[in-house]
Amino acid sequence: MPRRERVMRMSVELPLWRALTGYRVLTTLYAIGLCATAYDHFVRPWIAVGYYAVLVVWTLATLPRVANAASCTRGFLAADLTVALTGILLTPLADNHERIAGGGPTLPSIWTAGAVLAYALKGGWRWAAVASTAVAAANLVERGGPARDTVHNVILVWVAAIAIGYVVEVARASERTLARALEIEAATRERERLARDIHDGVLQVLAMVQRRGADLGGEAAELGRLAGEQEAALRTLVSGGLLPVSRVSEDAADGAVVRAVEEPYDGEPDGPVDLRPLLARHAGARTGLAEPGAPVELPGPAARELAAAVGAALDNVRRHAGTGARAWILVEDEPDEIVVTVRDDGPGIPEGRLAQAEGEGRLGVAQSIRGRLRDLGGSAELISVPGQGTEVELKVPKGALRAPGEAERR
């Protein structure tokens, strides 16, 4: 059956790349505006005009390069920083000395910070420190010495770039941690789901073969013994073995990516389904069913999971309460929740038996019943008094009702 693959992209740095794109365009316009207002003061205005022509073409042509980390290659970063440094070093040739000594702006002005920030977003604080140092050296050469305003601007760019680079590194580490946590959660849920399915089918068949083989004797007894060994091995596997994760995280150009591979139900509708026919399949000579007169509608997957939990409870009755035990299913459609109760008149469950069974890998109650209800946002309560039978109460709050697996998809 075809699988559906959803890709969830988690990125803190992607908005920073978008902001950098806008910053480069705006600061290009700002630098040109500064030049226009002080055009008469330039001793060689044609140098400034030529540089700004190159700056505009370069900025517009390289906008895709600053869209994400993958496009922003090392070669581009080196060329981009070269454009900024060239503009700084050309400033003494284009502008007059008095303006420069008085703290006048360089030709690229604050556009230079965009080149440094690109280093910070791409490589973190270390790359930002290298680019900031190069810009600082170019500014000192342009001014001819460490003037107060120059040192102030250099330190400001240096600190800001390093801080942003450090934040980006922390964000990337957090994204990887979150992606790994989602992997573990998905693997756990997938293991629980497979454990329920295996318990409802394969394990019970193997247990039946073991019992019947022991009763028949002969070659059938050997077959039963082998079935018992496989049952024990399979229980160990599903209770603690490793299963393939349903999500795979990876580092991408614009953030961590988590791919969720979902198995749709076998062609069954996901719309509202009446719970009563699903439970009626479990009714029989020794199993009674009491239900409301009106439909008890649930989302398709949720109704099937709830019916499967009821089936698992009845399987426990047949296996542990004896062939003569009777069971009753009671369905209650309350205003705030749906309650399905399974009662039997068997001998009950000895104290501590459930914990012991779970330790042995017998997951009938832990996964097939409680696990299913937990995935639905509900709860399963088991009450048993030795000699007075067992009652399993399954509650699903309507406000929290969701299809299996929807919790981790949000």
Which single residue is written with the structure tokens 């009702």?
A: 401
What residue spans of 241-391 are helical by DSSP H? 275-280, 300-320, 353-359, 370-375
Distances, alpha carbon 79 to alpha carbons 42, 75, 131, in Å? 26, 6, 12
Distance from C-alpha of 304 to C-alpha of 291, rounded to nearest angstrom: 17
What pTM did the predictor assign? 0.50
Give the residue from 81, 89, 83, 130 showing the smallest Cα distance to 106: 89
CB within 8 A of 348, min separation 6: which ones? 384, 385, 386, 387, 388, 389, 390
What does each of the 410 residues of the chain score in pLDDT, given as a tens digit? 344 444 445 566 788 888 889 999 999 999 999 888 888 888 888 999 999 999 999 999 999 998 888 888 999 999 999 999 999 999 888 887 877 777 778 889 889 888 998 998 888 888 888 888 898 888 888 877 666 666 666 777 778 778 888 888 887 788 778 777 777 777 777 666 666 666 556 666 676 777 777 777 777 777 777 777 666 666 655 555 444 444 444 444 444 444 444 444 444 555 788 888 888 888 877 888 888 888 888 888 888 888 888 888 888 787 777 767 888 899 998 888 899 999 988 887 767 655 555 555 455 566 678 878 888 888 888 888 777 888 889 998 876 554 444 444 44
Give the residue from 345, 340, 325, 316 showing the smallest Cα distance to 284: 325
Single-letter residue type at 145? G
Is 20 within 8 Å of 118 (Cβ atoms)?
yes
Token pair listed for 362: 């017998």
- The DSSP secondary-structure symbol of 200 reads I
CB within 8 A of 265, min separation 6: which ones? 300, 301, 304
Number of H helices, E strands in the chain: 14, 10
Region class of 317: left (phi > 0), else alpha (psi between -120 and 50), else beta: alpha
pLDDT > 90 in the chain, percent:
13
Can you state the percent helix, strand and coil of the chain, rounding each to 5?
A: 60, 15, 25
Give the residue from 169, 168, 55 showing the smallest Cα distance to 109: 55
Distance from C-alpha of 262 to C-alpha of 190, rounded to nearest angstrom: 10
